[in-house]
Every structure is written in structure tokens, then in C-alpha cells.
Structure 1
Amino acid sequence: MARFHPLPVAAVERLTDDSVALTFAVPPALRAEYRHAAGQHLALRRSVDGTEVRRTYSICSPAPAPTDAEGPRRLTVGVRLVDGGAFSTYALKEIAVGHELEVMTPAGRFTLEPAPGLYAAVVGGSGITPVLSIVTTLLTREPEARFCLLRSDRTSASTMFLEEVADLKDRFPERFQLVTVLSREEQQAGLPSGRLDEERLAALLPALLPVERVAGWFLCGPFGLVQGAERALRALGVARTRIHEEIFHVDAGTAAAPTRPTPAHSTVTARLDGRGGAWAVQDGESLLEAVLRNRPDAPYACKGGVCGTCRAFLVSGEVRMDRNFALEPEETEAGYVLACQSHPATEQVELDFDR
């Protein structure tokens, strides 16, 4: 089960005018709990005027090697300022070395286990953060692997982890291909400026690499970019099973299902951390909200159907999900749901958070 622990901030690095990298020191007793796969994320929480605020940020530091039995000594995440953001504003303006933050143990399935082959990513803005961990881990551990990174940013000054990505190009010049597109700034060399939409990607990707030979595609960033990239790849004949997506933010109402009343007297039975319970679901309430009223330790981070932290297996009953931007089709077909977006469609629903 995911758990929160207080971790000290070991470093705060300003990346751009509106983003920082936060590095946490992991004490020896907790390092095994913070072992992570490349591409996973951390949830951070704080209290604002008596209300708990949680936000998820991808780990950009490489994953510990299997031979490292101890686990990571440090973990780094990238944080970009969001207008009016309760946590990102705090991160950029107040967090300093020595502060302690409540940090959840790693979660997420936007991951890549190092293996030989050609891999590629299309990322936008802060979507570079998990992919930086994926690329670094892959190229460091697997000498027979290659990676093509197509990244989109507004300007060079707004590009997160610019030096870190350049360092990868210097370290692995034969195995790492980097292509940068700036939407609001002309480059002296490289591709013309402009947005990476579906039409442009459909023409660009086959010119950059043999699309049919890519073992795994990793799409990360704004909703529009990720959806456009997926449509372009599917039109190019790429199987859905080779496309992996992570969306950092979805506008309220995007692809949202209409709210429908909960059946009268609905009950959710949930198994969590080895213990079970059954509780009434109030009208309009999500299954996660019903569980949280009775089990505050239930896992969640964004409550927006994006991070996947609240994933649970639907043991019995039926639910409807308002939104799903976190689970792969194979996961939903196997019976997994997002508790934060699920509402009971039958009077009895049973979830297993441990499976």
C-alpha cells in the first residue's frame, strides 16, 4: 500500500522562471519503500487553511538498479507553476532546503523496464519529467537500447531540464536522438516553430525514425498533444499496446460524463491494506469519497482521473467512470477502475485496492 512519510528537502534547483526541481533525501530506513521504476511519480501533500492538498509530480531521477538492494538515497521531482496552483505556488516561492514534506511512496504505471530495442517519446512541457527518468535509466542499464525523444516547448527559456537532456546527448551520441520543437520561438537550426498537432506528427515521425520498429512509444504532457500523438501513431499503423500515455492536466469538463444519481441504498465493500469494510455511498458521491469517509488511508492523489493512484479492482457489481486518463485499455478490460471517478451503477459494489 502507498504510504506517506516526511522527507527532508535536500536541494531546490530553479530550472526556469516558472519551474523548480525538488530533491528529497531518503533516510536508510525508508529506502526500500521508495524503490521505484523509471517513469513513476510521487504524491506530495500539505494542509492549506485546514484542507488537505495533494499533488502528483513525476520522478525525474533514474530508477535504482536491481543490484542496488538499499534503494534510492535521493529522489528528484520537477514542479511547474500552475496559475493559482495551491501547491506549485508554494513549491516555487516557499520551499527551501531543510523543509520537510509529506511524500507518498512511488506509484504509477507509465514505466519502462530496460530491454534492448528502439524506443521513442513525444513530450510537451513538463511532460519531460518522467521521460527523463525513463531515458536515463534505459540508456545507462541497457547497452543495446536506443531512444528518440521529440520534445515540444514554448521557448528555450521555458524548457525544463535543458542541461540534463543535453548531457544525455553527450553521453550517448549514437543511441540518443533528440529533436526539439519550439512553438513560440524560431531556432537557428532544426525544425520550424509551431505546435505539434496530429497532422504535423503524422508527417514528422516517419521522417525521424522507422515507426514500425519502435518497441514502445511514451506520450506525456498536455491532453491535446498526447491525444494528437496517439491518433497520429494509430494512423501510422502502431498497435495500441505499444503506446503508453500519461497526461498531467485535463481541463474540467473535458470528456466528462454527465452526473447520474446513485442507486438508492448503494453500498461499497472495499479491501484495503488487508482489511475490509462495507459503507453506504451517498447520492452523487464517488466510491473513493465513500471509502475515504471511513478509511482516510485510501490511496489517492489528483482526484481527477489522471494519476491512477486510486486504481482498484472491481470484484463485483457495476460502476460508471466519469473520466479515465490513467488506465490503459488492457487494465479496464481486466476489471480495474479509478475509484475517484467511479460511481455505483448497482446497489452493491465491491472493490479491492490491494490487487
Structure 2
Amino acid sequence: MRFHPLRVRAVEPVAEDAVAVTFEVPPGLYEVFRHTPGQHVTLRRTADGAGGTGGAEVRRTYSVCAPAVPPPAAPVLRIGVRLVAGGAFSAYAVKELAAGDTVEVSPPTGRFTLRPRPGRFAAVTGGSGITPVLSMAATLLAERPDARFHLVRCDRTAASAMFLDEAAELKDRHPDRFQLVHLLSREERRTGPPAGRPDAGRLAALLPALLPVADVSGWFLCGPLGLVRAAERALAALGVPATAVHQEIFHVDEPTDGTDARQAAPAHDAPGGTELTAVLGGRRGSWTAGAGETLLETVLRHRPDAPYACRGGVCGTCRARLVSGEVRMDRHFALEPEEVSAGYVLACQSHPVTGAVEVDFDS
């Protein structure tokens, strides 16, 4: 996984606990950092250790919130960062990062995307889940006059809502083609929907009142696990086919059990000594997996360039195709059901079950 040192152009507050960070992209990297709306980048830094000693490497993924622009225009690389309690990177970005600083950034990646095309599209977002969807909506409406976008965004309070001004400007720019509904769970307002948690029942009643559900070509759900699952259940109850629903989990905000659609069936791990073969960057290697190790941990001991970021089964950066053998995934929120059926796994969550396993990171 390759990183490029990019200079920070600006750090701007976009909520009471969040900032937008804009990077300068040099002309030689224009094509490297062009993004498809919805993609994310991985940021890397080495946290300070105790007593001034070198610390551990920290990686985090953040979605690009800026609209995509075609060549030859310079790509706009802007991300949203929300402060997370105990977050090693978010605390640094929100409290310390400043214009002129340099951060290591990977090229955009990710499959939670919307390429501009005709039609009607809709999204349900929660908290910082607005970030990739803002890029989707802005790009779609700018490039396709024959497209519409409906956004239901959910936040705790108005002060905690990221990119309020940007969403309002988008509504002003495209009043007939962009619908914006804002739900607050912990704050009552004089106008708009009443406060309350946007559970499946509430969403199933609200969505048909806002838009023609059957006419929507694609649904994009982004935010905490609880909200995304609630929106999935609501859409299923409304008859929306699963193939029209795309989701990206930003964090897991509640316990999960074996009935979760993204949770793998339990299995017994293989004892230590499994032979793991991996194809990465066109190179093939085989190593012995240690007892209890994930596939990613084994590969990283020999290939530090292996792709990863969150290590929590959320970002999908370590996605690989299982060529042979069997693995157990603790969780796989970042994979669509069809990807799991096609044999893709998340290396950070996969433990070998058989004595030999082969994966391909290049597939």
C-alpha cells in the first residue's frame, strides 16, 4: 500500500467536534488522487511514544467529501474528520493539524461509489456518514441534469451535524433536483420531523411520504451500524431489492450476534502452523501462520506493504480473494453479500481453519 506526503492546505471546522482537511495535490499526482464519488483515502502517521520515543504507526480511513472533477482540472482532496473518544488520529487531526503540515495519504479506493448517470438516487446517512454521500450528490447533480438525489440525514443535534452549510448550498443550487430531510434524535425543532431515533419502523413510514421509493435506482446507506441495519430493514419492508441497496459502516455502535447479515458463521480455527500463501503486488509468498493470528497479521510480518487501515472489518482496505482453503471471519461489515459469495474475505478479520490457505490481494 503506497503513501504520498501531501501538504495540508486548510483545516476548517464543520461541526462542534469535526473538521474538514483539504490537501494540496501536486500536478504529478493529479491522476493518482482523482476519486470516484464515495471513495476514501487512508492517512498514516507515527504517534509519539512515551518520553519522546518513536511510537506506533496509526492508520485511519476517511471519505473524500469534495465533488469529483474531470481532467484536466486539479482534483480536490478534502476529507471530514470527527473527533472520536480515545481516537489516536482524530484527536491529532481535530486539535493539532494545521495548514502547512504534511500527512502521508494513500490514493483513493473503495467500492461504495456512485458514478454519475441518469436516474433517481437516495441516501440515508448518520453522523459522519454524510461525508462520502456529499461527494456523490454534488458530483451527480453537477454532471447529470437528468438525475435527482434525495438525502435523509440523521444527527444527534444540529451542532453535531457535519457539513450543514455545504448541504444547504447544494439545496440552493439544485432546488428541484435535490431533496434534503434532516432528522435529529436529541433535539426538538419548531419545524421539521419530530426528534427521535430513526429506527426501522420510523424510516419505513417516512420514506414513502418523501419520495417514490419504487423509482429509486440506487440507495446508499452510510453511518453507524445501528442506523444502516435499520435502514436496510425498512427498505426490505418496502419491497426494495437488496441489489439496489449499498452500504458502508463507519463504526460499530452496538453488539452483534450470529444473526447479523455481515457476521460469519462460527468455525474452529486451525492450530498454529498453517501455511499461508499470499499474492500481493504481483509477488507470491508463503509463510507459517502463528497460533491465533489473522491472515493480515501473518502477512504483515513478512510484507509490511500489505494494505490495511481500520483492522475492524469496517473499511475493506484489506479485502482479498480466498483462492483455496477455509477461513473464519469474525466480522465482515465492509463486504457486500455478493462479494462474500464470490470468495472475498477481509484479511484483518480472517483466521485460518484449514492447514493451508491461499489469498490474492491483487484480485
* Correspondence for 2:52: none
Partners of 2:101 and 2:217 lie apart in 1 by: 41
Task: Please tell me the residue identity of whatever aligns with 1:56.
Answer: T
**In the alignment, does 2:84 pair up with 1:61?**
no
Cα distance, 1:103 vs structure 2: 0.7
> For residue 5 of structure 1, what is the aligned residue in structure 2?
4
Residues 224, 253 of structure 2: 8 Å contact kept: no
Q: What is the one-letter code of the residue matched to 1:57?
A: Y
Task: Provide the secondary structure at the position in 2 that maps to 1:351.
Answer: strand
| SS of alignment partner, residue 113 of structure 2 | coil
Residue 229 of structure 2 corresponds to 227
| Aligned partner letter, 2:128 | S
* Corresponding letter in the other structure for 2:36: A
> Displacement, 1:101?
0.5
What is the CA–CA distance in structure 1 between the aligned matches of 2:7 and 2:250, rounded to whole Å?
Answer: 25
Counterpart of 1:127 in 2: which secondary structure? helix
Aligned mates of 1:329, 1:314 — CA distance in 2: 15
SS at 1:233 equivalent:
helix
Residue 164 (structure 1) aligned to one of 166, 179, 182: 166
SS in 2 for 1:156: coil
Once the two structures are superposed, residues 105-130 of structure 1 have per-residue CA deviations (whole angstroms, 9 ceiling, x without a partner) of 11111101111111000011111000
Partner of 2:193: 191
Counterpart AA for 2:238 = L
After TM superposition, which residue ranges in structure 1, 4 or more long, deviate above 6 angstroms? 256-259
Match of 1:238 among 237, 240, 244: 240
Q: Distance in 1 between matches of 2:201 and 2:156?
A: 19
1:10 and 1:52 map into 2 onto residues whose CA distance is: 23
Could you say which residue in structure 2 is the equivalent of 1:109? 111
Q: Give yes or no for contact 2:153–2:181 (8 Å, CA) kept in 1.
A: yes
Unaligned runs of 5+ in 1: none
Identity of aligned residues (%): 65
**Residue 228 of structure 2 contacts residue 247 of structure 2 at CA under 8 Å; is this kept in 1?**
yes
Q: Residue 15 of structure 1 aligns with which residue?
A: 14
Matched, 1:51 2:56: yes
Once the 2 structures are TM-superposed, how far is the Cα of residue 262 of structure 1 from its aligned partner? 2.6
Q: Which moved more, 1:182-191 or 1:106-115?
A: 182-191
CA distance in 1, matches of 2:120, 2:255: 37
Encode CA deviations 1:147-180: one digit per residue, 9 max, x unaligned: 1000111111111100100000011000000001
Question: What corresponds to 1:42 in structure 2?
Answer: 41
Q: Does 1:322 align with 2:330?
A: yes
Structure 2, gaps ≥5 residues long? 50-54, 258-262
TM-score (norm 2): 0.94
Partner letter of residue 179 of structure 1?
Answer: V
Q: Which amino acid aligns with 1:242?
A: A
1:302 aligns with 2:329: no
In structure 2, the CA distance between the partners of 1:339 and 1:26, relative to structure 1 (3 Å rule), is: same
Decide whether the 8 Å contact of 2:188 with 2:195 is kept in 1.
yes
Q: Is the 8 A contact 1:118 1:216 kept in 2?
A: yes
Give the TM-score normalised by structure 1: 0.96
Find the partner of 2:140 among 138, 141, 157. 138
Structure 1, 304-313 or 257-266: larger mean CA deviation:
257-266
Cα offset, 1:313, TM superposition = 1.0
Rounded Cα–Cα distance in structure 1 between residues aligned with 2:230 and 2:253: 16
| Distance apart, 1:348 and its partner CA | 1.1
- What letter matches 1:181 in structure 2? L
Q: CA deviation at 1:332?
A: 1.1
Question: Which residue number corresponds to residue 33 of structure 1?
Answer: 32
Q: Across the two proteins, how many residue pairs are aligned to each other?
A: 351
